[in-house]
Amino acid sequence: MIRQLIALNLRLEGFDVHTAVDGQDCLEQVREVLPEVVTLDVMMPRLDGWEAAARLKRDAETRHVKVVLITARAQETDLRRGSDIGVDAFLTKPFDPAELIRIVRDLAAASRAA
């Protein structure tokens, strides 16, 4: 449901959206799609958002991709862990779709400027 909500809201704002069923699927698609921004839910099967984000940021070919981590909890330890990985933004569930759009738009603009 969250994946569909995110995709719908971003498509309505004119973004080209590709979806993945889990972190592993995301990593496989990133090399083909070459996105500016990836949204990752922390809780995903096979490969969670933490590990998917870490792998994106460790890889020289994908470290430029901006990562938004979506989580039900954003405790200080979670924020620190995300910072250590290189996560670009956090969005806490439940979230306001307008906030999601603002974050993705800002990160996409920063990606293009870099």
**Span 24-62, pLDDT tens digits:** 999 999 999 999 999 999 999 899 999 999 999 999 999
What DSSP state is assigned to residue 96? -
Any domain includes 112: no
Q: How many domains does the chain have?
A: 1
**CA end-to-end span of the chain:** 33
Any domain includes 114: no
Which residue in this structure is represented by tokens 């200080």? 76
Any domain includes 11: yes
Any domain includes 110: no
Beta strands (DSSP E) in the chain are: 37-41, 66-71, 89-92
Any domain includes 111: no
Confirm whether pTM is higher than 0.75. Answer: yes
Question: Could you tell me the CATH number of the domain that includes residue 81?
Answer: 3.40.50.2300
What gap in Å lies between CA 54 and CA 49, rounded to an integer? 8
8: containing domain: 2-105
